[in-house]
Chain A
Amino acid sequence: MIETTRTIPRFILTLVVALCVSSCGGIQNAINPAGPNAENISRLWWLMFIVCSIVFVLVMIAVLLSLRQRTTEAADRVPLLQPSEESERRRRNVVISLTTITVIVLFVFLIASYSSGRSLRLNDPTKNGLTIELTGHQWWWEVRYMDVDASNIFTTANEIHIPVGVPVMFSLRGADVIHSFWVPNLAGKKDLIPGKISTIWIQADKPGVYRGQCAEYCGLQHAKMALWVVAEPQEQFNAWRQNQTQEAVAAASDTQKRGQQVFFSSTCVMCHAINGTPAGSNIGPNLTHIGSRHMLGAATLVNTRDHLAQWIKDSQTFKPGNRMPQNNLSDADLQALVEYLQSLQ
């Protein structure tokens, strides 16, 4: 008996610790904040979690205590229709006090929630150091870095680089249906709605990669519409940005030239743009610097040579229903194309 009463709390303790450990890591985790926005929400979460847990435990104790007196008597006991004044008054006092406590707790939550919400939005206009226009497509993200100097504006896809410690303003639009931008380590979510523009700011305090995923059901491949946010020190970011504003590097080797030919003579060119070449369609992601990205297919596959070849040949096996058709290229053509795309650093 003593043995079991000791093991049960230890078991629960282990479970709680295990849950905390499992919940506090990860690059796509709401309670592992890496920026002030998510930090703020995470504080609110722990406040509410602790208070609500206490409330839950107390209510359960009350329910269990109310079960102390049991009977298996037949159903013809005389029902209690006139309980004593005294006991009714006691019950009334307890119910009124508990209700009052409920109201007070809710007020605390309301105020905490409001002030937390204010700090998420209050200084929106002052946080316009860097503005990124994010457009949701079925099922990928178009990322456009805005700048006062038009020649510094560039477009990329599915991978957002931001400088550490700097608030970045996102202007969100929907191209087709409603999507939702959500990088849990950095901030809460915000919808991308066709015909409307919404804004959200994000700041990363620690360098690293944070994964985000579309949070509003947007059709067939909603599950595989993810993105990466890469937070890096300012100099590194500047270098990256400098590179991204450049046109695509020219095809150097013969294989790369052949690959470029394949690109222009097959269906690729109908949807994808490569800046600095005649390819200018914006139906699919911009490929000017595809070789420098970490992932393919909206953060679905690691960007390796093999994956890229397989993706071009038949992206439908990885992401059924996505808008990219199968391409029946010869092996040599495919390898040349991959070689060319990989060179687009």
Chain B
Amino acid sequence: MSHEKAQKTQNEVPTGNASKSSITDEELAEAMRSEREELEETWARPSGVWGWFTDTDHKAIAKRYIVTAFVFFLLGGIEAALMRIQLAFPESHFLNPDRYNQIFTTHGTTMMFLFAVPIMTAFGIYFVPLMVGARDVAFPRMNVYGYFVYLIGGLLLYAGFFLNTGPDAGWFAYVPLSGPAYSPGKRVDIWAQMITFTEISALVGAVIVIGTAFKMRAPGMSINRIPLFVWAQIVTAFMIIFAMPAVMLASSFLASDRLIDTHFFNPAEGGDAILYQHLFWFFGHPEVYIIFIPALGFISPIIITFARRKIFGYVPLVLSLISTGFIGFGLWVHHMFATPIPQMGESFFTAASMMIAIPSGVQIFCWIATLWGSKLNIKTPLLFVLGFFAIFVLGGLTGVMLASVPLNLQIHDTFFVVAHLHYVLIGGSVFPLFGAFYYWFPKWTGRMLSERAGHLNFWLMFIGFTLVFFPMHQLGLNGMPRRVYTYLPETGWGTLNLIASIGAFVLAAGVLVFIVNAVWALRAGVVAGDNPWGADSLEWSIPSPPPNYNFHNIPVVQGRYPIWQATADAPIVRGLNTKKRETLVTSVMDAQPELRFDIPGPSIWPLMVALATAVTFIAGIFTPWAFLVGAILAGITLTCWFFADPNYENKSARETGEKSEKVAPRVELQPKEV
């Protein structure tokens, strides 16, 4: 019945305004309401425990990713605090060296692989479809698979850690130290397989983001109108696709050296220890940008919103992101300047490492130019962006110092580098991330975080951060190497270390304020409404939290700032089936409508494939037979995934036995009726 009405609306209102008078406003509102009910039913999420394992909704998956990654962030933070307690005083006996080495390895691994990359991917999975006007991500089931693989990888690492089998060869696990001769036991194997899990999950996320951002944009969102957030996600996704295979190769070679006595990295048998470093850093340096570029994508929308002005230099900003993505692959050797490499070779990497300061500089200048002369509304998200300027610029400048070979030889592998990397990663990534939490929390939950607590949160984090990491520059110059579990009193490093340790607790207090703020806001925060900040991008045009189907009518975008530039008679997309999960596929460059695309619904099989993957790699720590068994299990589960009922249609459509039409490139652009 209601379907007929919707059909009628479609049929009776062709393009143009002329025939608007043929139906009354009440009829139209009624038709729209029934359409929304149908969409609700079509896009309904499975409930209960079963829902936990089968739900494909990109927003639900992204929220799980974010919560999981945040828990890992807290675990990594606790490890950092333990290390700071140990280093507060010389010759301290708080931790023994074995425990300390496990803790610093797990801290690095957690922060890089289990917190930073997944949480950035999660923001992409949540917001890319909302910002480009799609109903879901490109491959929702693969998304579920990616999450479970990531979760299993994280649990594997921490299961090992709590069983005193945590990896202890550093987050980089250099051979020969991590090889079978010098790291007996299973500690390094757990690290190597955890890498495999998180790599798979990151690659899956990257493919999803690229698919969504390139092919599912709302009509009118041509490539020169893509929001800067989405551009940052696209560049990151491509970097993941090119960088991750290198580390997978490194960790797989390492695992096979350990498991089946291959000698890829064993110099005694013709292997090469330096080869590992090349493979690792060919991934490891782009990794930094994989963490950092999405954060740049957080900054632009926050600046646009609170300056209430178009961004200055959209094109240079996009080109800077892309060139950072390219140059990011050309500077891995600056992690290896102390190995025997010819000077001419090193010079190229010095040049590349310095060159990457240019796009970073351009972005900073463009943002300042945007802020300049604007009336600023300094809310917590913007405050975190300002904190980013202070911290990241300093970290970038010490990065330029590290690019210079001679200077690098003095400060490499010292606390100077510890300071530098935390300046760029916490300043460049975590501060914008917290800004992003404050900015988008209303969209996720429908409620606002407290501004007053937000300011307190910012200042505690900013002061705490400076206390922890600024003195470390000096410690490095004073000769303190990294990754030491203690130091002698005669070295004179005690005072600065104590200051850093005190700062760690101020920083932790800042994070605690955030948690309290979030828990409080979930219950008692001010109700946000659709667009509490008056922002410009499409995710703010829908209710908070968004409905399962995201957009009732996919909008047609008229500029780079869709909400700000929307006119009263802006067209919308009509003609998408409301009885099955359908979204619009558009062309890559101009976002011209191409076809209607079926999106699969809930399924248990992605979880099953994830479990098969888990069996393969976890058992692979112990026996090579695991790969045979795993291949069979993966074959079976994948077959089921591909051939099981795709579950595209909603229940009522199935009951009536109505055949769903084949995908057809038929989309009508009609004026907005309601």
Contact = CB atoms under 8 A, between A and B. Distances in A.
Interface of A: 19, 22-23, 26, 28-31, 38, 40-41, 44-45, 48-49, 52, 55-56, 59-60, 62-63, 65-67, 69-81, 83, 87-88, 91-92, 94-95, 98-99, 102-103, 106, 109-110, 112-114, 116-118, 120-121, 138, 176-178, 180, 182, 184, 187-191, 193-199, 211, 213-224, 300, 320-321
B369 A94 contact: yes
Interface stretch (B38-46, B408-416, B592-600, B611-619): B408-416
Interface string B555-571: 00001010011000000
Nearest to B375: A71
Interface residues of B, number: 96
Contacts of B474: 19, 22-23
B646 to A, nearest CB: 42
Interface stretch (B66-74, B250-258, B290-298, B479-487): B479-487
B389 A63 contact: yes
Contacts of B309: 79-81, 83
B477 A30 contact: yes
B486 A223 contact: yes
A87 B386 CA distance: 23
Contact of A70 (B97, B376, B478): B376
Contact of B362 (A66, A69, A99): A99
Nearest to B178: A177
B371 A45 contact: no
Given A48-B404, A113-B406, A300 B308 contact: no
Contacts of A80: 308-310, 374
A223 B410 CA distance: 18
B357 to A, nearest CB: 6
B177 A218 contact: yes
A242 B406 CA distance: 35
B358 A189 contact: no
A117 B386 contact: no
B640 to A, nearest CB: 45
Contacts of B368: 59, 62-63, 66
Contacts of B377: 70-73, 75
B355 A106 contact: yes
A28 B117 CA distance: 37
A79 B390 contact: no
Contacts of A81: 309-310, 559, 561, 564-565
Nearest to B351: A110
B536 interface: yes
Contacts of A69: 373-376
Contact of A117 (B98, B170, B346, B390): B346
B376 A106 contact: no
A184 B96 contact: no
A49 B401 CA distance: 8
B478 A26 contact: yes
Contacts of A221: 97
Contact of B361 (A30, A99, A138): A99
Contact of B272 (A38, A177, A195): A195
A69 B406 CA distance: 44
A31 B339 contact: no
B477 A23 contact: yes
Given A56-B397, A184-B479, A191 B339 contact: yes
B98 A193 contact: no
B534 interface: yes
A29 B97 contact: no
B397 A55 contact: yes
Nearest to A60: B390
Contacts of A98: 361, 365
B373 A113 contact: no
Nearest to B409: A188
Contacts of A79: 308-310, 534, 536, 561, 564
Contact of B343 (A41, A73, A118, A178): A118
Interface string B357-386: 110011011101101111111100000001
B174 A109 contact: no
A73 B405 CA distance: 51
Q: For A65, A66, A70, A73, which residue has the most chain B Cβ atoms within 10 angstroms?
A: A66
A224 B400 CA distance: 31
A196 B277 CA distance: 14
Shortest Cβ-Cβ A-B pairs, 7 listed: A188-B409, A195-B267, A75-B534, A28-B479, A223-B484, A113-B404, A198-B340
A38 B386 contact: no
B410 A45 contact: yes
Nearest to A42: B410
A41 B176 contact: no
B330 to A, nearest CB: 14
A48 B272 contact: no
Contact of A29 (B339, B355, B477): B477
B218 to A, nearest CB: 19
Contacts of B531: 75
A66 B371 contact: yes
Interface string B281-305: 0000000000000000000000001
B372 A66 contact: yes
A234 B492 CA distance: 31
B581 to A, nearest CB: 34
Given A109-B400, A109-B403, A217-B170, 12 more contacts: A30-B414, A74-B534, A75-B531, A81-B565, A91-B313, A99-B358, A109-B404, A189-B410, A190-B338, A193-B274, A216-B338, A221-B97
Nearest to B173: A217
Contacts of A76: 534
B369 A177 contact: no
B308 A77 contact: yes
Contacts of A214: 481
A45 B338 CA distance: 17
Contacts of B533: 75
A110 B406 CA distance: 11
B223 to A, nearest CB: 20
B488 A300 contact: yes
Given A22-B474, A95-B365, A190-B338, A52 B397 contact: yes
A44 B407 CA distance: 7
A83 B310 contact: yes
B468 interface: no
A121 B482 CA distance: 26
Contacts of A52: 397-398, 400-401
A113 B377 CA distance: 43
29 contacts: A28-B479, A70-B376, A75-B534, A78-B308, A79-B308, A80-B309, A81-B561, A81-B564, A87-B373, A92-B313, A102-B357, A109-B403, A114-B350, A116-B404, A117-B405, A118-B343, A176-B182, A194-B268, A195-B273, A196-B339, A196-B340, A215-B413, A215-B481, A217-B169, A217-B483, A222-B481, A222-B484, A223-B484, A223-B485
Contact of A88 (B174, B312, B411): B312
Contacts of A94: 365, 369
Contacts of B522: none
Interface string B167-189: 00110001011000110000000
Contacts of A95: 312-313, 316, 362, 365-366, 369
B482 A217 contact: yes
A72 B274 CA distance: 57
Contact of A106 (B181, B340, B347, B357): B357
B101 interface: yes
Nearest to A210: B479
B183 to A, nearest CB: 8
A221 B390 CA distance: 37
A187 B377 CA distance: 51
A65 to B, nearest CB: 8
B406 A215 contact: no
A218 B182 CA distance: 10
Contacts of B96: 320
Contacts of B273: 178, 193-196
Given A48-B404, A189-B338, A178 B375 contact: no
Contacts of B407: 41, 44-45, 48, 113
